[in-house]
Structure 1
Amino acid sequence: MSDLLLTVEQAAERLGTTTRFPRRLIAERRIAFVKVGRHVRIAESALDAYIDGNTVQPIRRRRSRYGRAA
């Protein structure tokens, strides 16, 4: 297994947030993590799975043939 383990700071940088957000995800057990002694690491695949699982797809609406009423 060659999955890279990221620090909380690296995970936050990848998510574009502060370190508080990944720490909250860990505390709430919303993301898988690894404890190495007292250090916490997040597997790159777990972070990718979290991002994929929380990605919202846009709604495609059918365009009406008629414009809006005035």
Structure 2
Amino acid sequence: MNLFDLAKKQDLTGIQVYLDHGDMDHDWLIQGDAYLNSLLDKHGVKTQLHVGKGGHDYSYWKSQVKNYLLF
């Protein structure tokens, strides 16, 4: 089962989801985040979607670790 199927079929009551990607990330990741954010919102799941500077690489993730942990 993929992530989108889980979001459609599972009881996600009480879950909060943090989504992020870089502004120079792959198009499929940016579009996937937008779709998942919309899908979760339709099912009443609280989400946070963040867009940072960078791409899909270690330096981007390293720059975001604090945000991930604070969430």
TM norm structure 2: 0.22
Between Structure 1 and Structure 2, which shows a larger proportion of helix residues? 2
Which structure has more strand as a fraction of its residues? 2
Scaled by the length of structure 1, what TM-score is found?
0.22
